[in-house]
Amino acid sequence: MPSILHLCQWLNDLRLSTTIRESPVIFPVIETIHVVSITLAVGTIAIVDLRLLGLVLAKEKVTHVMSQIEPLALWGFAVMFASGALLFLSEAEKCYQNPAFRLKLMSLALAGINPLIFYATVYRRVDDWDSDETTPWQARIAALVSLTLWAVIIVSGRAIAYFN
């Protein structure tokens, strides 16, 4: 059974991976798209989190804020994921051994689980607190966890370059 390292080495040796890695233009363009899409995704997520904390748009219904922002966040996340996959593909073997990359992936997984828990629990009763300036403590905890995880994702993503 092949190991994850063998898979990363195989991905690293693909023609597409080599082309991205060795191009003076392609890698920086993908990286720029990745950073811009992170800005879109995390920026919109942060607005929702800050609303849940009551720090911005406190007079607005949570559902209204979320319905306006969610499509942008999803597009940002989709582009971020696709561009990140291409960046990983181009340096899969290096990423495998990189502690910052591993921290980023673990944080991304947790950042994906956090809203699932939020939607399955406290958000199910959003009609009870939708217009309240102060949201339930569980919603505020989910927002703090989200902001913290996204900060870790951004910092660890930037730190990847320093561990190669």
Q: What ranges do the domains of the chain cover?
A: 4-163
Give the pLDDT confidence score for residue 50 in this predicted structure.
Answer: 97
pLDDT tens per residue, range 45-94 = 999 999 999 999 999 999 999 999 999 999 999 999 999 999 999 999 99
Please compute, for residue 40, the number of CA atoms within 13 A of its CA located in the half-sphere on the CB side.
18
- pTM reported for the whole predicted model: 0.91
* pLDDT interval class at 1 (50, 70, 90): low
pLDDT tens per residue, range 12-40 = 999 999 999 999 999 999 999 999 999 99
Angle between helical axes of 26-52 and 62-90 (0-180°, round to 10): 150
